Amino acid sequence: MSGKMFERIALIGIGLIGSSISHASRRAGLAGSIVGSARTPATVETAMRLGLIEQGFVSPAEAVEGADLVILCTPVGLCGPIAKEISRSLKPGAILTDVGSVKASIVRDVAPHVPKGVHFVAGHPIAGTEQSGPEAGFAELFDGRWCILTPEADTDGKAVEKLQSFWEALGSKVEVMTPEHHDLVLAITSHVPHLIAYNIVNTAAHLEKVTDSEVIKFSAGGFRDFTRIAASDPTMWRDVFLNNKDAVLDMLGRFSEDLSTLQRAIRFGDGDTLHEMFTDARAIRREVIQAGQDTATADFGRGAVRKVTERTETKAKTET
Ligand code: NAP
């Protein structure tokens, strides 16, 4: 026994989130050992080379053997099938959790495969970047960010508390809510904004009277900040929209109504309505900054990404 919070952590999926969990766990000394599995041998090899895991597997079932904490860090749509695959290999007493950006469908798809004596507590760290893969992770990703846990009513309270302590030790603040409420909140704070970004970038790309090179050249007028969000992983986001359909459609309905109000105000020269709506929006930005969820510098999270780039560049320099 190592006396650590967990003897053995198994990461199923070692991309941005899985690798960041590894970095932050090591920073806080939370695990006796960290093992992992990915879809491709190349990712497993990279994760080994970066020291993210001590042992790597392509089979998730082999990876979870003997682990007292198993974290599913794959795209949302794979959580159910992987839960089925690892079910018989999970250690009695282990905590099984995930980091998926949608919660109700994961609880629906994973819970039926969780054996008696294993504690399943679904989770979602509200932290990320547009980067993917094992090299994208960094220890500070979760610092000061919220992690939402969505246990079921009959989930063991001690397992929930232990997982909460784990996320706090990774740097997060933790809130507990139902999976359905999570999906509603995230539909407006994350999912619809990503859809808008994907859409505006595609609209700009298909204009006839404005060339692509002009769009790129003059992008600092606002467009470039949408391109950052729209650079997010297509597989991850496809799964988010397929799995949070109702809440996203609900929020999109409201969004379209408000967009129509703006459209009418522009058409009829109603400056008061425009000014009022823009003033309300500006106040929300101030609240986001006051809540510590961004800084007033206009870098839109690029500081965190820059840190990784700088680290990678320094590493490359030391290696050459
Ligand atoms: P990512 O960087 O693309 O990594 C995904 C990982 O899953 C890769 O290591 C991939 O392996 C692995 N994988 C795919 N299929 C697998 C399988 N069948 N068995 C085992 N591993 C498999 O993705 P991410 O950004 O870390 O996102 C992971 C999860 O976190 C998603 O559910 C997402 O909703 C959630 N999340 C993401 C963010 C964000 O901003 N990115 C924020 C919060 C939560 P290969 O490399 O071999 O393909």
Is the CB–ligand 1 distance for residue 43 below 6 Å? Answer: yes
Atom 48 (ligand 1) nearest CA:
39
Atom 40 (ligand 1) nearest CA:
128
Is the CB–ligand 1 distance for residue 163 below 6 Å? Answer: no
Distance CA 200, CA 208 (A): 15
Number of domains in the chain: 2
pLDDT value for 295: 86
Cβ–Cβ < 8 Å for 179, 103 = yes
Model confidence pLDDT, tens digit, residues 124-141: 999 999 999 999 999 999
Is the CB–ligand 1 distance for residue 36 below 6 Å? Answer: no
The CATH number of whichever domain residue 230 belongs to comes to: 1.10.3660.10
Task: For residue 316, tell me if it sits in a domain.
Answer: no
Task: For residue 320, tell me if it sits in a domain.
Answer: no
In the block, residue with structure tokens 């999906």 = 183
Mean pLDDT in residue range 293-304: 66
Distance CA 193, CA 187 (A): 8
Model confidence pLDDT, tens digit, residues 67-125: 999 999 999 999 999 999 999 999 999 999 999 999 999 999 999 999 999 999 999 99
pLDDT at residue 319 above 80?
A: no
| Domain end marker among 177, 197, 222 | 177
Give yes or no: residues 170 and 203 share one domain: no
What range does the domain containing 246 cover?
182-303
**What residues does 175 pair with on adjacent strands?**
148
Mean pLDDT in residue range 28-40: 98
Q: Is 87 exposed, middle or buried (0-12, 13-18, 19+ CB in 10 A)?
A: middle
CA of 18 to the centre of ligand 1 (A): 7
Of 193, 202, 151, nearest in space to 176 by CA: 151
Model confidence pLDDT, tens digit, residues 199-250: 999 999 998 888 888 988 888 889 999 999 999 999 999 999 999 999 999 9
Q: Name the average pLDDT for the chain.
A: 93
Pocket test for ligand 1, best of 70, 74, 149, 189 (most atoms within 8 A of CB): 74
| Domain end marker among 128, 145, 177 | 177
Is the CB–ligand 1 distance for residue 105 below 6 Å? Answer: no
Cβ–Cβ < 8 Å for 230, 197 = yes
Give percent of the chain with pLDDT exceeding 90. 85
Give yes or no: residues 167 and 33 share one domain: yes
Q: How confident is the model at residue 298 (pLDDT cuts 50, 70, 90)?
A: low
Give yes or no: residues 294 and 196 share one domain: yes
CA of 281 to the centre of ligand 1 (A): 33
Is the CB–ligand 1 distance for residue 60 below 6 Å? Answer: yes
Model confidence pLDDT, tens digit, residues 171-206: 999 999 999 999 999 999 999 999 999 999 999 999
Task: For residue 308, tell me if it sits in a domain.
Answer: no
Task: For residue 25, tell me if it sits in a domain.
Answer: yes
Give yes or no: residues 250 and 141 share one domain: no
